[in-house]
Amino acid sequence: MVDASDAARIAALRTALEAHNHAYYVLDAPTVSDAQYDSLFQELQRLEHLHPEYASPDSPTQRVGGRAAEGFRQVVHAVPMLSLQNAFTSEDVSGFDRRIREALDVSRGEPDALRYCCELKFDGLAVSLRYEGGRLVQGATRGDGSTGEDVTANLRTIRAIPLHLRAQAGLAGRSVHPAPPRVLEVRGEVLMFREDFERLNREQQARGDKVFVNPRNAAAGALRQLDPGLTAQRRLRFMAYGLGEVRFDDPGEQVPDSHFEMLQWLADLGFPVGALRERHAGPGGLLDFYERVGAQRASLPFDIDGVVYKVDQRLWHERIGYVARAPRFAIAHKFPAEEVSTELLDIDVQVGRTGTLTPVARLRPVFVGGVTVTNATLHNQDELERKDLHIGDTVIVRRAGDVIPEVVRAVPQQRPLGARRFVMPTRCPRCGSAVVREPGEAAARCVGGLFCQAQRSQALIHFAQRRAMDIEGLGDKLVEQLVQSDRVRSPADLYGLTLEQLAALDRMGEKSARNLVQAINRSRQCRLERFIFALGIRHVGEEVARVLARHFNSLSALMQADWSALALEKAQIQKHNARARARGEPLLPVPLEGVGVEIMQSLQSFLAEEHNREVIERLLAAGVQPSGALTAEVTEDGASRLTDRPSGAALPLAGKTLVVTGTLVGMSRTEVEGWIRQQGGVASGSVSRRTDFVVAGDNAGSKLERALELGVPVIDLATLLSMGSSS
pLDDT in tens, 198-211: 899 888 888 887 77
Shortest CA distance to 331 belongs to which of 129, 127, 91, 79? 91
* DSSP element (H, E) containing 660: strand 657-661
Strand partners, 407: 397
- 82 in Cβ contact with 322 (< 8 Å): yes
pLDDT of 420 reads 93
Shortest CA distance to 403 belongs to which of 82, 77, 88? 88
Q: Which of 121, 334, 570, 703 is catalytic?
A: 121
Mean pLDDT over residues 462-490, rounded? 90
Q: For residue 610, is pLDDT > 60?
A: yes
Across 53-62, 357-366, 503-512, 637-646, the highest mean pLDDT is recorded for: 357-366
Shortest CA distance to 550 belongs to which of 573, 567, 529, 526? 529
pLDDT of 216 reads 85
Mean pLDDT over residues 392-416, rounded? 83
Share of the chain above pLDDT 70, in %: 87
Mean pLDDT of the chain: 83
Coarse DSSP helix, strand, coil percentages of the chain, rounded to the nearest 5 percent: 40, 20, 40
Domains of the chain: 4-64 (1.10.287.610), 86-334 (3.30.470.30), 339-414 (2.40.50.140), 445-626 (1.10.150.20), 630-725 (3.40.50.10190)
pLDDT of 73 reads 86
Report d(CA 393, CA 346) in Å as an integer.
10
pLDDT in tens, 159-170: 889 988 876 544
Is pTM beyond 0.75 here? Answer: no
Shortest CA distance to 346 belongs to which of 402, 409, 395, 383? 395
- 222 in Cβ contact with 230 (< 8 Å): yes
Q: For residue 281, is pLDDT > 60?
A: yes
Q: Is 334 a catalytic residue?
A: no
Q: For residue 441, is pLDDT > 50?
A: yes
- 623 in Cβ contact with 524 (< 8 Å): yes
pLDDT of 46 reads 76
pLDDT of 62 reads 64
112 confidence band (pLDDT: 50, 70, 90): low
pLDDT in tens, 65-98: 444 445 678 888 888 888 888 898 899 999 999 9
- 376 in Cβ contact with 341 (< 8 Å): no
pLDDT of 274 reads 92
pLDDT of 214 reads 79
Mean pLDDT lowest for which of 257-261, 410-414, 440-444, 611-615?
Answer: 440-444
Mean pLDDT over residues 450-458, rounded? 86
Q: For residue 528, report the phi and psi dihedrals to the nearest 5 degrees.
A: -60, -45
pLDDT in tens, 212-226: 777 888 888 888 887
628 confidence band (pLDDT: 50, 70, 90): low
Report d(CA 700, CA 698) in Å as an integer.
6
